[in-house]
Amino acid sequence: MYTKPRLPDPVRTAAVRALVIVAVTLVQLMIAVLCSLAAVWLAFPMVISTVASTIVATWAVLDVWVTRQVWRQRHGVLSEPSSAARTRPRVVRQRQEHEDRPV
C-alpha cells in the first residue's frame, strides 16, 4: 500500500553491519549460558568474548544512529511550505514595509 523510501547506502550498510554483530553477540551469549550450565571449560572464555562483543555491538548501533544523522544533515530534504500555508505576520509586515519605502 505505502512504500517506505529506501535507506541511503551508508545508513543501510551500517544497519546491516550492526544487525550481523548483534546476531553474533546473541549467539555467543547463548553459547556462554549453555556452557555455564554444563560446567564446560569454554564458559569463561565465552563470557569474556560476549562482554567484548556487547561493547562492539553497542558501538555498531551507535554508528547506525550517527551515520543516519550525518546523512540527514548533509543530504537533508529541502522542504517548502504548502500553498495552503500562511506566511507569518512578521514576515508579511517586513515585506510591506520594504515595498512602501521610497526609492
13 confidence band (pLDDT: 50, 70, 90): very high
Average model confidence (pLDDT) for the chain? Answer: 84
Backbone angles phi, psi at 82, to 5 degrees: -70, 165
Cβ atoms of residues 26 and 86 within 8 Å: no
Residues 98, 99, 103: CA angle, nearest 5 degrees: 90
Helix (H) or strand (E) holding 46: helix 43-74
pLDDT band (50, 70, 90) for residue 90:
low
Is the distance from CB of 39 to CB of 46 less than 8 angstroms? no
Backbone angles phi, psi at 65, to 5 degrees: -60, -45
Q: Is residue 81 pLDDT above 80, yes or no?
A: no
